[in-house]
Amino acid sequence: MYATGMAGIGNVWLWGGFAVFVLFMLALDLGVFHRRAHEVKPREALTWSAIWMALALAFGGLIWALFGPDRAQEYVAGWLIEKSLSVDNLFLFIVIFDALRIPALHQHKILFLGILSALLLRAAMIAGGAVLLEHFHWLVYAFGGFLLITGVRLWFHRLDAPDPDGGSVLRWVRRVIPSTAQLSGARFFVRENGRLLATPLLLALVAVELSDVAFAVDSVPAIFAVTSDPFIVFTSNVFAILGLRSLYFVLAGFVGRFVYLKAGLALVLVFVGVKMMAADWVQIPAAASLGVIVLILAGAIGCSVLAARGSARAAKRDRGGAGQPYPS
């Protein structure tokens, strides 16, 4: 069977304690550290990224202590999948903010509100997915096939350039919601000539949330391919999502340099799709799954870094060969 056991599904104290922790961290983030709207600088973003990463890994240690190494490895694998897929989603966030000319001052607010809705969406999708997989085992093959097809499509579309107008999601939002092109501070609505219109901030929030819905359709089944435990699936999702805002501000300036990231994500989706479809016949240990995922992602990042260095050296040679004068 595909099911691998339910480490935390019946532990009310564990679920309740995790919920309290998440609410505390969100209140601390918004009520203390980001009480006033400000542009998030790289140093602040790096600090928060390190904090979220440390908390995520520490929680993995807690899973190990409570439920053993297999569950801990499933949690880390799920967290890595979600984190990696979220990096790809940052491309769309960047395009949305750029198309709507959202200043850095307000981007944290949009991402924070988007994450609140994303947490509720993940909870509903994971609960529904767990129930469906428990009662309709054939859905394992459907989910696996969907991930396999998604990975293949991503591979062949990995070189597509992002739409500078924000893509179909943003165009749909603009068409459906009456709006103005002018910002009005931090407000989501403004009244013009007696009409209540949405500001670009609201359009950005709606577009970010809709893109997250599409993103969750891929990411949630991908983690169910690693583990069937709803607690592991949910907590790995939550830790990846909570660190998404700080990761955005870290990577926003050079996310385009990860030229092989989409290729790596495509291979990860293909791997977990095949694993999910073959689970009844071939049992892949959690440690092996984690190793494959880490190897693919590390290879994609390493190749991206080498490609970026090669491009920089080529550009430097071109500048030198053009006969441009060097400063004295």
Q: What does the block give as tokens for 290?
A: 């984690």
Distance CA 254, CA 240 (A): 20
Residue closest to 160 by CA, chosen among 253, 85, 244, 262: 262
**Strand, helix or coil at 221?**
helix
What's the pLDDT at 64?
93
Q: What does the block give as tokens for 187?
A: 């407000």
Stronger pLDDT, 152 or 5, i.e. the higher one: 152
Quick check: is 168 in a domain? Answer: yes
Give the chain's mean pLDDT: 78
pLDDT (tens digit, 9 = 90+) per residue, 180-196? 888 887 888 888 887 88
pLDDT (tens digit, 9 = 90+) per residue, 265-299? 788 888 888 887 887 787 777 778 878 888 988 88
C-alpha 302, offset from chain centre: 20
DSSP letter (8 states) at residue 1: -
pLDDT of 254 > 70? The answer is no
Residue closest to 241 by CA, chosen among 116, 69, 157: 116
How many C-beta atoms lie closer than 10 Å to residue 248's C-beta?
23
Quick check: is 33 in a domain? Answer: yes
Quick check: is 327 in a domain? Answer: no
Q: Residue 235 sits in which domain range? A: 12-311
Confidence band of 323 (pLDDT split at 50, 70, 90): very low
Quick check: is 7 in a domain? Answer: no
Q: What does the block give as tokens for 25?
A: 């961290």
> Angle CA(270)–CA(259)–CA(263) in degrees, nearest 5?
10
Number of separate domains in the chain: 1
Quick check: is 42 in a domain? Answer: yes
What's the pLDDT at 17?
86
What's the pLDDT at 3?
43
Q: What is the mean pLDDT of residues 28-55?
A: 74
Confidence band of 2 (pLDDT split at 50, 70, 90): very low
